[in-house]
Every structure is written in C-alpha cells, then in structure tokens.
Amino acid sequence: MSPADVVRSLALATLLGSSSNAISATLQIGNGAEPGTLDPQKVSGNWETRITRTLFDRLINYAPDGSLEPGLAERWDISADGLRYTFHLRDAHWSDGEPITASDAVFALRRVLAPGTANHNANLYYPIVGAHSINAGDAPAESLGVNALDERTLEIRLTEPTAWFLQALAMSEAAPLPEHLLNSDVSDWTRPGVMVSSGPFVLTDWHPQDHIDVTRNPHYYSADEVALDGIVFHAIEDPGAALSRFRTGELDISYSGVPSSRFEWVEQKLPDALRVGPLLGSYFYMINLRDGTPLADTRVREALNLALRREVITDQLLGIGQTPSYWYVPRAVSNAPNSQLDFADWSMERRLARATQLLNEAGYGPQQPLQLSLAYNTLDDHRKIAVAIAAMWKPLGMDLELINREAAVHFATVRHADFELARYGLIATVDDAHDFLNAYAAGGSASLSTGFSDTRYDELVRQSSAELDPQRRSELIGAAEQRLLDANVLLPIYDYVSVHLVSPRVKGWQSTPLDVHPLRYVSLETDYNATQ
C-alpha cells in the first residue's frame, strides 16, 4: 500500500467513524437543474459535474476537505523545470471490466481540446504542448504533448511552468474516457446501460426533468470503501420546493439553496442542517460587446455599473451573507487580487450623476430611453435581482426587457452569444484567480460568449499563469483583472456563498470553498433521530 493509500484509508475510517451506525443506503439529493448532458467534457454547470464526478474518476481527485489526493494516478513526478509530468496509474478497470490505461487518458485530453467538443474550459489545458493549436483547429490531435509511455504510465509535457496545472487535472472534463466505447459504433454513449464508468458509481437510470439514479460500481478500484449503495439526483431547481421535500425527509441533501425569504426561518428551525460557507464563485451579468448594440459603447457599460446598488441586493433583497462585488475574482480565492472598479468608494449620489452624464453623452436619457434585454435562468432570486436592477436603471432613462428561460436553454443561449445582458454565475473549478481571468482570455468561455478581445489582457493572463514567483504573479493577476474592470466588460454583483441543506444523518460531507463533495466518502447513519 502506498503512503497516499494509507492516508486515504485513515481519512475514510475517520469519516465513516468505523461505526455500526454507518450503513449502506441510497442517498437522496436535490441537485438543482436538469442536466443537459452527462458527457463530462460537455457539461457546463455544477448540477451536472456533481453527477459526472461520481461516474468518472480523474487522475487526481479532491478529498473531502478540498485538498488534492491521488485518483486513477496513484502517484506522479514533476520535472525540476516544471515542464514534464509523469503519472503512474493504479491497477483499475472500467465498469465493463476493461482495464483503464494511459491511452484512455491520452484519448480524453485530445478529445477535450478537439474543436468539435466545444469544451468551455478547454483553454485551461493550453499549457500542454500543442493544445492551443489543436483547439483552434490548426493542428492534429496527435500533436498534443501527451503520451502513453506504457499501459500505466502517462507523460504530459507543458510549454511553460503552470502553477495550477494539477488542479486542472482534477476537473471533471479531464477524466480519462473509455476509448474502446467512444470509438465503437454506439450512437449515444451516455445512456444508462451503455455508459462505461471509472468512478465509484455507474449510471443506472435517467428520467428527464425528474431524477437520475447511480449505483455502486463493483469494478471501482476502492469499491470496498464506498459506503453508499446508490444515489438519486433529483432535478429540483426551485429552492422552495427543495426545502419542502427536505423537511419531509425525501431529501438527504439539497443543493438547490434556500429561498432568501425563508433563510431566517431555516436558521432558526433547521440549524443542524443548514451549511453556509465561502464559495469561490462570482455572480455577475455578462455583456455582449459586439458591434451593433448600445453595449459596444464603453460609456453605456460604465453607466450601468455605476447605477447598480449592490448592497441593496445583498443586504436587503437576499440577506444570506453574500458580499457585494466591485471586482470580478471572488475575494475567497486564495490569490485574489485587490483590484476593483474605480468608483467603488464613491457616494451613490456621485455615481448616479456620473452615470447620467455618460448616458447623455451616448445619446440616451428619459426622453430617448436606452432599450436593452436581460436574460436570466429560472429561479425566483434571479428574477428578484433582475426586477430590482431594472428599477435601479429606470430613472436613468432605460427600459429593460426581462427574459426568463429554463437553465439548460439559458446557458445554451449564452454560449451562442444570443443575448445583450445575461445573468451568469462562474463557480471556480480550481482555487486560483486564473480560473476566472482565463474565461475572458482568447478562447475562454466568457470571451466567446461576449466577443471580448484584448491581446494585452491575454498576455497578462498568460504571464501570470507561467510565473512561479508569488509576488510577481500577484502583480500580473491584479493588472489583468484591473484591465477588465476598467473596460467595464461585465457587471459584477456579488461573491457567492454556498447554502446547502445536509441532514445530520449524512456523514463524511464537508463544506469547501470549491463546493466539491466526493460522495465515495459519504455514508448514512442508521439510528439518527430527527429530534436529536
């Protein structure tokens, strides 16, 4: 047994309590929106990755406390210059009994960068030799700097040192994929009964708009450490409905949040179940910057930012502990800079006067209203925020059309750049400012959706990624974020907090800033009494 395996076994014993009270059972989860896909390289939201993480193990995984731990790779070596990573895979098998090999990892990394995959985090893998050119369609997949040295040894070569690269490999889309299945004549490999998995669970049922069932994978390399028989992920987007079902005991965990109007009640009545903690997430409005719309004018964008009363939203409208944001990178990120919008310390009176002046200069005002549309996904708090912001902007001479769509449709619309203003929540996949800044760099999801393009910004992001000196790296990160803020390319509103309901009978679940909770470590207590 390797030292890492010893650590994992000790952690498991602690989490399960090595107690007779821990039983095998089925965990019921209120998971938020209906998944658009279970292809780990095509998902776009945490309601999808929560499921795919149970189905596909990565080379590197997250432990319950949010630290990195070995996954399919039992150990790895990094060259002194930081340009060569060698991963040694454990003896593991797919759920159909086929061995998991280094070639499966090569196949997956080539696929995630293929232009046709359209992975929204593909540029996080640009440090790999050849990755950028492949993703742009300018080079063949075989030119990627990833090689299977033998069946269980994987080599990855980088163009430059990358401080956060191991975290990128712990992301859902970096998981090795079953090459033997995807290269077969199967038409839809993500269907129950067809999908082949490497994780602690396998997909057994999918009822669209209702629930998805997964059951324990007997071929998982640590199957004997998995306490749960299965998990049911319920598609419940409405936090009020999720709260009702949690109270009746239908749900063990609710990831749908708590309605802001019921938060105080939940604090008083369900204190042992309420889990509130920092979250590496930014709630903001995307702006379509392309020519031909009023938002291509920087004066208009700045005016909208100036007139946002963020504290009204966080303190009066929501009241759950969110931090009003005058920045883009959430302050809870380990290396978050101190950048902020230049008017952050102005009085509201001064801000409104400047906003009125800018709109007048751009040709808008009460006599010539600025007409824009704002799209948001279905959720009552999103609606309340949108209505409040429309009211804040109305005195400036602005008419805001509100467009409400189901989550999968909304985010597909954003990806296709079919919007003027769009609500967006970016939740970090790595605890590093690069995860946020990279979204607006060339090839990033936000850049593609909004049309933002700035070569100087791209260079600052690239330099910050390669810089290993903490002080110099912090300066580069700050300069990059400030450049975004000075151009008013987004409307930051608040930093997220995580708000979940977790039954006290659930053991092994911990709050983490990344909001990743490996369910292979979770168990259910058999004799829990709700009156405890």
Ordered by start, the domain boundaries in the chain are 60-178, 281-497
Is the model's pLDDT at 452 over the cut of 50? yes
Say which range, 220-224, 362-366, 518-522, has the weakest mean pLDDT. 362-366
| Percent share of the chain, pLDDT over 90 | 86
From the list 484, 117, 76, the residue with the least C-alpha distance to 298 is 484
**Which 3 state secondary structure label does DSSP give 232?**
strand
Residue 401 CA to its chain's centroid (Å):
28
Is the model's pLDDT at 453 over the cut of 80? yes
Is the model's pLDDT at 282 over the cut of 90? yes
325-336 pLDDT, tens per residue?
999 999 999 999
Is the model's pLDDT at 79 over the cut of 90? yes
Is the model's pLDDT at 2 over the cut of 70? no
Is the model's pLDDT at 21 over the cut of 60? no
Instruction: Report, at the CATH architecture level, how domain 281-497 is classified.
Output: Roll (3.10)
| Percent share of the chain, pLDDT over 70 | 94
CA distances from 382 to 86, 406, 415 (A): 45, 12, 19
**Alpha-carbon span 371 to 400, nearest angstrom:** 6
Position 121 scores a pLDDT of 87
**Alpha-carbon span 216 to 375, nearest angstrom:** 39
**Which 3 state secondary structure label does DSSP give 215?**
strand
Q: What is the mean pLDDT of the chain?
A: 93
pTM, two decimal places: 0.79
Instruction: Report, at the CATH architecture level, how domain 60-178 is classified.
Output: Alpha-Beta Complex (3.90)
- Tell me if 216 sits within 8 A of 226, measured CB to CB: yes
Residue 368 DSSP symbol: B
Is the model's pLDDT at 177 over the cut of 50? yes
Position 6 scores a pLDDT of 38
Average pLDDT over residues 64-70: 95
Q: How many residues does the chain have?
A: 532
More confident residue, 190 or 260: 190
Q: How would you label 279-309 residue by residue, b for 16+ Cβ within 10 Å and e otherwise?
A: bbbbbbbbbbbeeeebbebebbbbbbbbbbb
